[in-house]
Amino acid sequence: MTDNCIFCKIANGEIPSATLYEDDDFKVILDVSPAAKGHMLILPRQHYADIMAMPEELTAKAFVLAKKMAAKLEKVLECDGINLVQNNHEAAGQTVFHFHIHVIPRYAKDKLGIGWKPGKLSDADRDELVEKFKTIV
Ligand code: 5GP
Ligand code: ZN
């Protein structure tokens, strides 16, 4: 547990939260400022700032849990779709620096702005990236 981390305090019960599921490793809570009704957060009980800091086994468990919660959310809300969102570092929109996965229900005609303007993959970028990834373990 890390001092002054709001999600450490929530994940370990020091601050109360609307909890949908919990086990030894995780707490799943409702987001206090939801993008849509049912927006939930998967929080590991242990503090890891982002996905790069997470042990692989716990990361795998977090995404399996997100899949299970998404399936339940679909049944509870009868929504049309689900986004899993996981932000790392400020530039990517991370505001709480304790790893979490957002599970967000979607509806056919909702106006949620989760997306981007599609670009065009240039031949130079394609060749550069394919080569560089061969050299990184
Ligand atoms: P991020 O931008 O870091 O990916 O997402 C952080 C999320 O945590 C936001 O959606 C925000 O609404 C939520 N959040 C921040 N503080 C609290 C809190 O005290 N309680 C709950 N339930 N959610 C919080
Ligand atoms: Zn924390």
pLDDT digits (tens, 9 = 90+) for 49-65: 999 999 999 999 999 99
At 15, phi and psi to the nearest 5? -120, 130
At 85, phi and psi to the nearest 5? -125, 135
The answer to whether residues 87 and 93 touch, using CB atoms and an 8 Å cutoff, is: yes
Residue 1 has pLDDT above 80, yes or no: no
- Cα of 132 from ligand 2 centre, angstroms: 33
Side-chain-facing half-sphere of 118: CA atoms under 13 Å: 2
Q: Tell me which ligand sits closest to the C-alpha of residue 100.
A: 1
Whole-prediction pTM value?
0.96
What pLDDT score does 136 carry? 87
Task: Specify the DSSP element, H or E, that contains 133.
Answer: helix 123-135
Q: Of ligand 1's atoms, which has the minimum distance to the CA of residue 85?
A: 4
The answer to whether residues 11 and 45 touch, using CB atoms and an 8 Å cutoff, is: yes
- Cα of 91 from ligand 2 centre, angstroms: 19
